Amino acid sequence: MQIRPVRFDHPDAMKLSDLVQLEYAERYGDGDITPMDPAQFDPPQGLYLVAYDGTEPVASGGWRAQEANGEGYADGDAEIKRMYVVREARGRGLARRILAALEDSAREAGRTRMVLETGIKQPEAIALYTSSGYAPAEKFGLYRCYEDSRCFAKVL
């Protein structure tokens, strides 16, 4: 497996983003409607990674810089978005490898805290984050008022 940085609007990133949206729809009845601009993931204000098995994209994830605002973010936050592993590649540690690379990148960019939002119908994601040192955090972002939403944070 090889993990490479790509733009969020790269065809492979878009393919995986479409797949994760389908999975959100299966689990929650709808996709993620969080507004995202590909430029938000451009270094040094972010990073987007895709893992490849040969030439096939099988996993992705990114972070984008956030600052204090009315949605509950704090100065220095790096928000994780679109963490996903295709079903056929799950259980190989790809999400953990991508998460570690995102944390390293955010730390190098001067970010002080990683934050993420997930939902109660994604127990695998919650298990990954809590086993990687993330703790429940005050809710933030678009889904902060949703009962099924869970927010986590980790000091970098």
> Using one digit for the tens of pLDDT, what is the confidence trace for 74-117?
999 999 999 999 999 999 999 999 999 999 999 999 999 999 99
Vertex 24: Cα angle to 19 and 30 (nearest 5):
115
pLDDT band at 119 (very low <50, low <70, confident <90, very high): very high
Average pLDDT over residues 15-33: 93
**71 is in which domain, residue-wise?**
2-155
Query: The domain that contains 66 carries what CATH number?
Result: 3.40.630.30
Structural domains counted in the chain: 1
Is residue 144 scored above 90 in pLDDT? Answer: no
Q: Looking at residue 65, what DSSP letter applies?
A: E
Is residue 67 scored above 90 in pLDDT? Answer: yes
